[in-house]
Amino acid sequence: MEHGEPRLIPSVGGLATALRTPHESGGGLWFGWPGDAMRSPDPRVNELLERHRVRAVPVSAAEMDRYYDSYSNGLLWPLLHYKTETQRLDADRDFGTYRTVNARFADLLANEYQDGDVIWVHDYHLMLVPGMLRERLPTAKVGFFLHVPFPAADIFRVLPQREEVIRGLLGADLLGFHTASYRHNFALAAAHVLGIEAGIEALSFEDRHVSLGVYPIGIDVAAFEKLAREDKTSEDADKIRRAAGNRKVLLGVDRLDYTKGLRRRLLAIDRLLEREQGLRDRIHFIQLAVPSREKVEAYADLRRTVNELVGRINAHHGTPTHSPVQLLYRSVPISQLVTLYRAADVMLVTPTRDGMNLVAKEYVASRVDEDGVLVLSEFAGAAAEMQEALVVNPYDIAEVANATKRAIAMAPNERAARMRALRSRVAENDVARWAGGFLTDLARAASARDASPQPRPRRAADSDASRVERALERARAFERRLILLDYDGTLVPFAAVPELAAPDAELLDLLAELANVPGNEVHLLTGRSRPSVESWLGHLPIGLATEHGLLSRTPEGQWTSPRARGGAWLEPAVTLFSDLAKRTPGALVEVKTASVAFHYRRSDPLLAAARLREARERIATLPDAEDAEVLDGSAVLELRARGVHKGLVAAALATGYPGAAVFAAGDDRTDEDTFAALPEDAVTLRVGRGSTLARFRVFDSRDVRALLRALL
């Protein structure tokens, strides 16, 4: 704000530039930090914000320092652009502020939310917001778009707060990325960090589908073309060319940021002029470097480096009448920017990493004369769409120098052919189409969630401890009680390998005591095979149903014959699974009486996904394949005799023990068969997350044990 009338000044930068048009033409509210305007006592500032449908989210100067400068721009920005060495030791403190500010956005949004609203969250500063919104507004349509690259999973995993960040993002219905490779990187990182299955177009997380989409951002092409066609623009562009004499005009336009490749670009120019001394007086390179994030140290360093380099190049290659490089350290109005685009014979866009890079698209859109050459880094997202540019590896200084030379010398017909192809692609995918495409997919993703077929009616399991206890109390009043328990994840936590999940002394005592209460009948219902269960628990007076009920034993120790046999499919299935496991590091095969399981929790998620596809195809060709069925467990694919599941055992036990109060606990999909088979009034208990048919929910095996103790 200057003296007098307050004004809103648009910020320079890709995100703000891109969203201005969709915001102006749509009817939505823009939530953001309004900078210094917040501190102004002038009531007109608020009116102004109101008129522009802007909601100010207050962030104090101290918070800005930690949230924005330190965590977002000092730590996340470099990491997302493949720089891992900037991870600091005190990042947790700054992350605390990052969380606080994200929560503030979520709170203010939730306050103003109305049914049916669509919320679109932007960029790496707000990655926790989708998850926070999901908690506050479980049914809201929430989308998230990442404007920067999502790096390879191995890079992202460096981030100490990676899990919270990924969980935050997965609160959205739709996550959008500029390129297919960013999306792919994200899917792999999420799979690694959370141990969930990787999918390319969607991930399943906590019973929700999160769609993943690719939406290369565009620009307001019509606005750039309009400016470019103005007489004033052509005249001013001519002035720049005349001032450059008969030299070729080269142009760079960047926020002064170390990801934009300025240093290497200048080194390439230096190299070119060193090698081709005839070019020294034939090029005029204008570099517009817009000040950015000046409080972050790395940016101040970069400014010094760039200044020095420009000085050196001009000192070495300049003449008394000409300096080859002209550095402008400032921002210019958009009309002047377009004038520069129109004047430039060669545009150099050579970031070392860039989510998209709008400058490349703006240059092309401004070339209504179909002339000019774009040199473009292969590490800008834009390169995925703009292959008719001279695409270079910005780390290869010789290559950039060569491409620049080639651009300078390019024949007019080649320039026009390339530019026409680029222009039509950029025109096709403008910013309106980008925003429209994202929002259409978001509506689709969110309505798929609302309408998603629920195979059986699910209930919101009750985790109120006092209600579970009351239900148990009623069960205690019965003369007979049937207690059905899953083992892994329910009575003991998961172990690194199944053999390590042996029962501890406390559990053995608890089970023995329970079984010895007159009127109690205790059965274990597990997917494990007979030997381990028998060796661990065989001495107790409890029933054991192994392999999901294929083989069971009465509490008196009488094993029944198996409900089904392996069949002709079993042996070849074992061979098939072993073959897959050999080609899948980390995977292992478990062979049981009438089933075989492929465990892939410790394998690369994409590789595992490919193997699962292969497994399904080949299972269909096994002899008597119709006698077997596939069971999709948690990081395990099991093929077992058809028609065997815990529900059958549970139902048989319930009928065989009439008039008893029934208690059942389990933690995964196979236990849902048990819950489904039991009468309505059974006290059913789901351990952990996930939708369930059970009436009650507890957190982990410690809670289950506590409740069992209460049953004594």
What helix, strand, coil percent values describe the chain, rounded to 5? 50, 20, 35
Count H helices, E strands: the chain? 26, 24
Q: Contact between 18 and ligand GDG (CB under 6 A)?
A: yes
Write the DSSP assignment of 44-93 as a string of letters: HHHHHHHHTTEEE----HHHHIIIIIIIIIIIIHHHHTT--TT--TTHHH
CA distances 102 to 62, 107, 168, 449, 551, Å, are: 15, 9, 10, 25, 53
Interaction between residue 435 and ligand GDG (CB under 6 A): no
The H or E element containing residue 188 is: helix 180-194
Chain positions 55 to 84 lying near ligand GDG, rule: CB under 6 A, are none
Q: Is 122 helix (H, G, I), strand (E, B) or coil?
A: strand
Encoded one letter per residue, x for contact with ligand GDG by CB under 6 A and - for no contact, window 209-228 reads: --------x-----------
Strands (E) located in 411-519: 481-485
Alpha carbon distances (Å) from 172 to 30, 118, 125, 197, 592: 18, 11, 15, 17, 40
Measured in degrees and rounded to the nearest 5, phi and psi for residue 689 equal -75, 180
The vertex-675 CA angle with 669 and 676, nearest 5°, equals: 95
Using CA atoms, how far apart are residues 44 and 48, in angstroms rounded to an integer? 6
Distance, CA of 383 to CA of 354 (rounded, Å): 10
Region of 10-18, 241-249, 414-422, 483-491 interacting with ligand GDG (CB under 6 A) = 10-18
Stretch of 8-16, 168-176, 383-391, 479-487 contacting ligand GDG, by CB under 6 A: 8-16
Residue 687: half-sphere exposure toward Cβ, Cα within 13 Å: 25
What letter would DSSP give residue 197?
A: P
> Taking the complex as a whole, how short is the minimal distance between the CB of residue 708 and ligand GDG, in angstroms?
55
Exactly one of 12, 29, 502, 607 binds ligand GDG (CB under 6 A); that residue is 12
Our finding on whether 512 is near ligand GDG (CB under 6 A) is: no
Residue 426 lies near ligand GDG (rule: CB under 6 A)? no
How far apart are the C-alpha atoms of 712 and 708, rounded to whole Å?
7
CA-based R_g, the chain, Å: 32
Q: Which stretch binds ligand GDG (CB under 6 A): 14-22, 26-34, 127-135, 464-472?
A: 14-22
- Per the residue annotation, which of 486, 627, 668, 673 is the catalytic one? 486
- Decide whether 17 or 526 has the Cβ nearer to ligand GDG: 17
Residues 6+ apart with CB under 8 A from 56: 32, 33, 34, 37, 38, 49
Q: Minimum distance from CB of 258 to ligand GDG (Å)?
A: 11
The least CB distance from residue 70 to ligand GDG, in Å, is 19
Q: Name the strand (E) or helix (H) holding 135.
A: helix 129-136
327 is a contact residue toward ligand GDG (CB under 6 A): no
Residue number with CB closer to ligand GDG (178 or 528): 178
Among 13-21, 392-400, 569-577, 681-689, the segment contacting ligand GDG (CB under 6 A)? 13-21
**Options 61-69, 110-118, 235-243, 331-339: segment touching ligand GDG (CB under 6 A):** 331-339
Least distance in angstroms from the C-beta of 357 to ligand GDG: 5
Report in angstroms how near the CB of residue 45 gets to ligand GDG at its nearest.
23
Report the residue number, 357 or 552, with the smaller CB distance to ligand GDG. Answer: 357
Among the listed residues 284, 294, 290, the one whose alpha carbon sits nearest the alpha carbon of residue 260: 290
Residue 149 CB, shortest distance to ligand GDG, in Å, is 8
Counted residue by residue, the chain has a size of: 712
Query: Containing H/E element for 374?
Result: strand 373-377
Q: What is the 3-state secondary structure (H, E, C) of 422-442?
A: HHHHHHHCCHHHHHHHHHHHH
C-alpha dihedral sign at 658, 662, 668, 669:
positive
Q: State both tokens at 177.
A: 């990325």
Q: Does residue 343 interact with ligand GDG by CB under 6 A?
A: no
Between 350 and 369, how does the x/- string for binding to ligand GDG read (CB under 6 A)? ----xxxxxx--x-------
Is residue 66 within 8 Å of residue 98, measured between CB atoms? Answer: yes
Under the criterion CB under 6 A, does residue 332 sit at the interface with ligand GDG? yes
- Least spacing, CB of residue 359 vs ligand GDG, in Å: 4
486 is catalytic: yes
Binding part of the chain for ligand GDG, among 6-14, 205-213, 301-309, 444-452 by CB under 6 A, reads 6-14
Judged by CB under 6 A, the residue of 15, 237, 482, 654 near ligand GDG is: 15
Tokens of 372: 């000019």
Kindly give the pairing relationship between strand 118-122 and strand 141-145.
parallel
**Interface with ligand GDG by CB under 6 A: which range of 181-189, 234-242, 327-335, 613-621?**
327-335
Contact status: 542 vs ligand GDG (CB under 6 A): no
Site string for ligand GDG, 265-294 (x = CB under 6 A): -----------------------x-x----
The closest alpha carbon to 487, from 532, 421, 451, 554, belongs to 532
Contact yes or no for 559/551 (Cβ under 8 A): yes
How does DSSP classify residue 502?
P
Instruction: Quote the distance between the C-alpha of residue 214 and its chain's center.
Output: 12
Q: Which of 75, 91, 133, 148 binds ligand GDG (CB under 6 A)?
A: 148
- Which H or E run contains 346? strand 346-349
Nearer Cβ to ligand GDG, position 265 or 640? Answer: 265
Q: Is residue 337 a contact point for ligand GDG (CB under 6 A)?
A: yes
The correct pick among 133, 172, 196, 253 for binding ligand GDG (CB under 6 A) is 253
Smallest distance, ligand GDG to C-beta of residue 9, A: 10
Task: Return d(Cα 268, Cα 393) in angstroms, integer.
Answer: 12
Q: Are strands 174-177 and 141-145 parallel, antiparallel or unpaired?
A: parallel
Q: How far is the CB of 351 from ligand GDG (least distance, A)?
A: 8
Q: Which is nearer to ligand GDG, 14 or 543 (CB)?
A: 14
For residue 146, the minimal CB distance to ligand GDG (Å) is: 9
Residues that bind ligand GDG (rule: CB under 6 A) add up to a total of 25
Distance CA(143)–CA(140), nearest Å, equals 10
Q: Which residue is nearest to ligand GDG (CB)?
A: 14
CB of 632 to ligand GDG, least distance (A): 38
Which segments of 320-411 does DSSP mark as H helices, in order?
334-343, 358-366, 397-409
Pick between residue 363 and residue 675 the one whose CB is nearest to ligand GDG.
Answer: 363
State which H helix or E strand residue 177 sits in: strand 174-177
Q: How far is the CB of 180 from ligand GDG (least distance, A)?
A: 16
Q: Is 146 in the site for ligand GDG (CB under 6 A)?
A: no
Nearer to ligand GDG, 14 or 22 (CB): 14
Residue closer to ligand GDG by CB (options 148, 175) is 148
| In the complex, least distance from residue 328 CB atom to ligand GDG, rounded to whole angstroms | 8
Q: Is the Cβ of residue 293 or residue 695 nearer to ligand GDG in the bound state?
A: 293
Among the listed ranges 9-17, 132-140, 202-210, 410-418, the one in contact with ligand GDG (CB under 6 A) is: 9-17
Segment contacting ligand GDG (CB under 6 A): 12-20, 103-111, 403-411, 535-543? 12-20
Structure tokens at 650: 């549970």
Query: Any bridge partners for residue 211, and if so which?
Result: 174, 202
Residue 147 lies near ligand GDG (rule: CB under 6 A): yes
Q: Tell me: does residue 17 bind ligand GDG (CB under 6 A).
A: yes
Q: Which of 331, 532, 593, 634 binds ligand GDG (CB under 6 A)?
A: 331
Using CB under 6 A, list all residues that contact ligand GDG: 12-15, 17-18, 147-148, 217, 253, 255, 288, 290, 331-334, 337, 354-359, 362
Catalytic site residues? Answer: 486
